Amino acid sequence: MAEDILDIMRREYRERIRSDPDIVKLRDLIEAGSDYQTAEKYATRAGQLLSEIMKEYISPDLFARIGNIEPADLAHYIIPMLNNGYDYVSAASVAVQQYLNAQAGIGLRVVASEFDSGAAMNIVGKMCEYEHFEDSLFMLDEPIVQNLLQVATETLRVNAETHSRYGLHPKVIRRAEPGACKWCRELAGEYDYREVADRGNEVWHRHNNCRCEISVIENR
């Protein structure tokens, strides 16, 4: 039963990624050569599609059928699906970085971000904190989108790190979205990568429903 549902989710996600009109348009833009704003939009839409599928199948009804809910049960469904989402967004983000490197005349190999298993397990852990499973289902909504959006951002960061290590001078640009909160407005600006190199720096982070843009240029 569990394997069958996981296989169904994987198949449906693959089909929706293949045929979703927004994803198709964004994929065409990326293949033609685009920037991290496009990668972020791709990640957001890929996250929304993943969220829709997970909310449909990872339901109270499912766990009523398989017995008491345990972290391992949730992880069995959530980790592979987030890994699927990572694969799509990582490929799109790497393609964007390859184009940007070519445009800037940078011959360095593009680095893919790693799948963040800790962030994925954090979603599982938080869901298991709730006494009633249905109260935890919001974690399959915006947190899923943010998880995939972070893949694009981390791809940008690790490549900026590589460029900096080889003597280049990447500049990180964070743009606040229209109507952004005070925290996001105060973070907006341009930063020398070396000033914000730590992964934990707030410049790299978003809160739920935040769609602020993070990009990089070479500061020659």
Q: In this structure, what DSSP letter does residue 201 have?
A: S
- pLDDT tens for residues 157-195? 999 999 999 999 999 999 999 999 999 999 999 999 999
Q: For residue 139, is it within any domain?
A: yes
Q: What is the CA radius of gyration of the chain?
A: 18
Q: What share of the chain is helix, strand, coil (3-state, %, to 5)?
A: 70, 5, 25
pLDDT band at 1 (very low <50, low <70, confident <90, very high): very low
Q: Say which DSSP state 213 is in.
A: E
Note the pLDDT of residue 178: 94
Alpha-carbon torsion 110, 115, 116, 122, what sign? positive
- Which carries the bigger pLDDT value, residue 73 or residue 43? 43
Look at the alpha carbons of 178, 184, 189, 193 in this order and tell me if their dihedral is positive or negative: negative
Q: How many domains does the chain have?
A: 1
Kind plus residue range of the DSSP H or E element containing 218: strand 213-218
Whole-prediction pTM: 0.94
Kindly state whether residue 193 falls inside one of the protein's structural domains.
no
Q: Residue 219: which pLDDT band, with cuts at 50, 70 and 90?
A: low
Residue 63: inside a domain, yes or no?
A: yes
Distance CA 59, CA 48 (A): 17
> CA-to-CA distance for 21 and 45, rounded, in angstroms?
10
d(C-alpha 73, C-alpha 65), whole Å: 12
Tokens of 111: 């680095």
Q: Domain range spanning residue 72? A: 2-168
Average pLDDT score over residue span 141-148: 97
* Per-residue pLDDT tens digits for 105-133: 999 999 999 999 999 999 999 998 888 88
In a domain, 37, yes or no: yes
Residue 210 lies in a domain: no
In a domain, 203, yes or no: no
Statement: residue 89 has pLDDT above 70: yes
In a domain, 147, yes or no: yes
The chain-wide mean pLDDT, for the chain, equals 92
Is there a domain that residue 61 lies in? Answer: yes
Q: What is the mean pLDDT of residues 132-149?
A: 93
Question: Once rounded to an integer, what is the mean pLDDT over residues 51-62?
Answer: 87
